[in-house]
A = this chain, B = another copy of it.
Amino acid sequence: MLNKIKSVMIANRGEISLRIIRACQELGVKSVAIYSEADKDTLPVKLADSAVCIGPAPAQASYQNQEAIISAALAFGVDAIHPGYGFLSEKADFAKKCEDNGIIFIGPSADIISKMGDKIEARKIADSASVPTIPGSDGAVTEFKKALEIAESIGFPLLIKASAGGGGRGMRVVESRDTLEQDLNEIMSEAEVAFGDSSVYIEKYLTDIRHIEVQLLADGDSCIHLGERDCTAQRRNQKLVEEAPSPALSTSQRNDLCQSAVRLAKKVKYKSAGTVEYVYDNIDKQFYFIEMNTRVQVEHPVSEMITGIDIIKEQIKIADNQVLNIKQEDIVLSGHAIECRLNAEDPENGFSPCPGTISYYRPPGGFGIRMDSHLESGYTIPPYYDSMIGKLICWGADRNEAIIRMTRALSEMKVEGVKTTAKFHSKLINSEQFKSGNFNTVFVASLLEKQH
């Protein structure tokens, strides 16, 4: 089925390594897992067509060791490297090394990775593609009069940041017009004194937001979207629960959002799977671009479940230089999907990680259930990497069925020997606020507070 890629080295571990191995096997491509000494007895190593030990346990010496991975790819003669997520997936220099060594990097070019990895550059591209960005000054403003003008045009509350500031210094939220002139005056003066530079950035200050992102597939020429995912349920900026479609968007908002993401990708002739991230302001019902992720994401299965599109297989086919053979009109969003990221963490104890041995593991099953996990009975979670033990994805004909099915699956699943976040997830998705669909990024924190 593939032309150039006959073998893929998976430069990752855990569930995403397994996910990619499965995609390779379905594409008829040889899968070569890499593993650190800490991971030698894991499911990806067992299920891959072959496996190569690339270094000792610490990630810097193994999964983040670019030299070791490129060397392994060359020595073992693979055609392509899939970086998964995390580790080297958004390192432009690694993509460059692959390119330089004649290895296909399954992702966009090094050039696009670095362009999109630069927030200021990315915002400029977004602006040029008419993708809404958070209203604010185009860069630093030096003149008081100009700053006042911009601030008045943006509306309130707004955020003033000293250009030379950072880490919270030289930053002020302005709640209303009443204090604008004085605030602006003060912060510019202070900045002049403190940093010798009075210039400021001015930005709309968003207080009630959701996190919504759009999944894209692009072959460098055409680009389609697979709808959006809503990742608003976060704890300390860590996504906990993702779902699709977003319960916040109307059909026309969805269409606008997704079209804007496609415009952005087309602007840079994007070529791979990718995600455009937005904040959605619950108050003014507007979405604003924040960044583009140039890799496959943890939560990609949520989009797979509602579209039937295998994102990893499509991503590999694009890397094989194939033309996208799915048209936008072929994509039908069907039902609702929710993903819970299950971690070996103790929710009763500040979510502290609980590495250890899983004495017994029983995945949940049945209609609409997908458990992407590298767990097995007897598996020992090593202390070197993150604490995610798997992703439970549930599909339902509607959001309500998806929540109920997830609840059923969470209680059916059995992970013995370590503490997990399963019960916490069950509480979260069954909270009145989550069920209502009406919440923002602070919701999980307040849920946790209520419990104490």
Contact = CB atoms under 8 A, between A and B. Distances in A.
Interface of A: 18-19, 22, 25-26, 28, 47, 301, 304-305, 308-310, 332, 334-335, 362-363, 365-373, 376-377, 395, 397, 401, 404-405, 408, 411-412
A334 B332 contact: yes
B26 A397 contact: no
Question: Considering residues A22, A301, A304, A397, which has the most beta carbons from chain B within 10 angstroms of its beta carbon?
Answer: A22
Given A308-B397, A332-B332, A405-B26, A365 B373 contact: yes
Given A365-B371, A370-B369, A372-B366, A22 B408 contact: yes
B366 A370 contact: yes
A22 B404 CA distance: 11
Contacts of A310: 367-368, 397, 401
A336 to B, nearest CB: 10
A370 B47 CA distance: 18
How many copies of the chain does the oligomer comprise?
Answer: 2
Contacts of A370: 365-367, 369
A51 to B, nearest CB: 15
Nearest to A395: B308
Contacts of A28: 404
A366 B19 contact: yes
A165 B181 CA distance: 105
A422 to B, nearest CB: 15
Given A308-B335, A308-B397, A334-B334, A404 B366 contact: no
